[in-house]
């Protein structure tokens, strides 16, 4: 049984004031067993983490990206080692916005994954198809090629210490969610892809769904056999929505 994982990707949103408000609101909620990670912009990682510690909130901190390089003359870049140094434990890699807007190829994402693993960070690797690719019947081919390049670089075991996130590009920020059946079919194909390398790692790996997850649609997605949590964009900026989504991942005890 995999413990659910709910990750907030704040993208380029937030401010010190918004962070204060978010944390203040979150302290009013009851603790959950679900593992939670919040990924604010680089500059707020430390501020956010300090506030979590001060308020004894059981949430880990992640970054949204890291460099392909370890150190040196790479102006504006942030290395995986630096992230680890500031108390960051996770890093999102290969988000479709980075693939599409910043030209990140499978090879670049794989190099970042190697840096992340070397620095002791847990990678959250994003894969997903565009609407055009889906309509051309290429979804499985696209996500498996994105997955395989990561598996070639860091192996199934290292990936399973982090997470894989299926984010159909057409569902991100559009309000259009993949149906639970559509998402489950891709998650299953991804798990089979990992299984072909390492079956233990495949059964331990948490595969998250991302793309317009909201409190109203989360429970049905999380009820699918191969959906082990979510990568939440817009809805994660509101503490109460992020909490409600995390709550939806809690599997109720079966009373016999
Ligand atoms: P939305 O939840 O805003 O659709 O964003 C999803 C996403 O890109 C998370 O990484």
Higher-confidence residue: 199 or 253?
Answer: 199
In a domain, 255, yes or no: no
pLDDT, one tens digit per residue, over 33-67 is 999 999 999 999 999 999 999 999 999 999 999 99
What is the 58 CA–ligand 1 centroid distance (Å)? 22
255 confidence band (pLDDT: 50, 70, 90): very low
**255 vs 79, residue with greater confidence:** 79
Assigned domain for 162 exists: yes
Q: Are 113 and 123 in contact (CB under 8 A)?
A: yes
> pLDDT tier at 217 (50, 70, 90 boundaries)?
very high
For 103-145, the pLDDT digits (tens) are 999 999 999 999 999 999 999 999 999 999 999 999 999 999 9
pLDDT reported for residue 256: 35
Q: How far apart are CA 245 and CA 249, in angstroms?
A: 7
Residue 147: its H or E element: helix 139-161
Look up the domain containing 221 and give its range: 5-250
* Run of H or E including 17: helix 16-26
- Which pair of structure tokens corresponds to residue 136? 């051309």
Q: Is residue 95 among the annotated active site residues? A: yes
Of all protein residues, the one whose alpha carbon is nearest to atom 2 of ligand 1 is: 233
Question: What CATH number is associated with residue 76?
Answer: 3.20.20.70
- Domain for residue 206, yes or no? yes
Told to judge if 195 belongs to the known catalytic residues of this protein, a careful annotator would answer no
How far apart CA 148 and CA 146 sit, in angstroms, is 6
Q: Is the CB of 172 under 6 A from ligand 1?
A: yes
Q: Is 95 in the pocket of ligand 1 (CB under 6 A)?
A: yes
Does residue 176 carry a pLDDT above 90?
Answer: no
Q: What is the pLDDT, as a whole number, of residue 254?
A: 44
**Burial class, 198, CB count within 10 angstroms (exposed 0-12 / middle 13-18 / buried 19+):** middle
Query: How many domains, the chain?
Result: 1
Give, for ligand 1, the residue of 164, 167, 208, 229 to mutate: max count of ligand atoms closer than 8 Å to Cβ: 167
Where in the chain does DSSP place strands (E)?
5-9, 35-39, 60-63, 90-93, 122-127, 163-166, 206-210, 229-232
Give mean pLDDT, residues 195-209. Answer: 98
Task: Find, among 3, 12, 68, 70, the residue nearest to 37 by Cα.
Answer: 3
Using the predicted structure, report yes or no on whether residue 92 has a pLDDT greater than 90.
yes
Quote the pLDDT of residue 172.
Answer: 92
pTM above 0.95, yes or no: yes
218 located within any domain: yes
Q: Which of 35, 129, 158, 167 is catalytic?
A: 167
Q: Is residue 220 part of a domain?
A: yes
Out of 28-37, 173-182, 186-195, least confident range: 173-182
What does the mean pLDDT of the chain come to?
A: 96
Residue 168 lies in a domain: yes
Of all atoms in ligand 1, which is nearest to the CA of residue 171?
A: 4
The mean pLDDT value for 178-194 works out to 97
């Amino acid at each position: 049984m995999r413990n659910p994982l709910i990750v907030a990707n704040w993208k380029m949103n937030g401010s010190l004031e918004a962070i204060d408000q978010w944390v203040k609101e979150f302290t009013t909620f009851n603790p959950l067993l679900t593992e939670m990670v919040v990924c604010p912009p680089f500059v707020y990682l430390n501020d956010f983490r300090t506030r979590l510690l001060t308020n004894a909130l059981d949430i880990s901190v992640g970054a949204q990206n890291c460099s392909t390089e370890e150190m040196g003359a790479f102006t504006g870049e942030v290395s995986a080692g630096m992230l680890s140094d500031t108390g960051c434990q996770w890093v999102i890699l290969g988000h479709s916005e980075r693939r599409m807007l910043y030209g990140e190829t499978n090879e670049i994402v794989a190099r970042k994954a190697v840096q992340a693993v070397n620095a002791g960070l847990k990678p959250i690797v994003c894969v997903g198809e565009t609407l055009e690719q889906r309509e051309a019947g290429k979804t499985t081919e696209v996500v498996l090629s994105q997955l395989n390049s990561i598996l070639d670089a860091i192996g199934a075991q290292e990936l399973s210490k982090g997470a894989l996130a299926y984010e159909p590009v057409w569902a991100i920020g559009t309000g259009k969610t993949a149906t639970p059946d559509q998402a489950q079919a891709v998650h299953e194909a991804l798990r089979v892809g990992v299984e072909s390398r390492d079956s233990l790692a495949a059964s331990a790996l948490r595969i998250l769904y991302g793309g317009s997850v909201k409190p109203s649609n989360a429970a049905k997605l999380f009820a699918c056999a191969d959906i082990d949590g979510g990568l939440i964009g817009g809805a994660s900026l509101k503490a109460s929505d992020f909490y409600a989504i995390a709550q939806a991942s809690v599997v109720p005890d079966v009373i016999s």
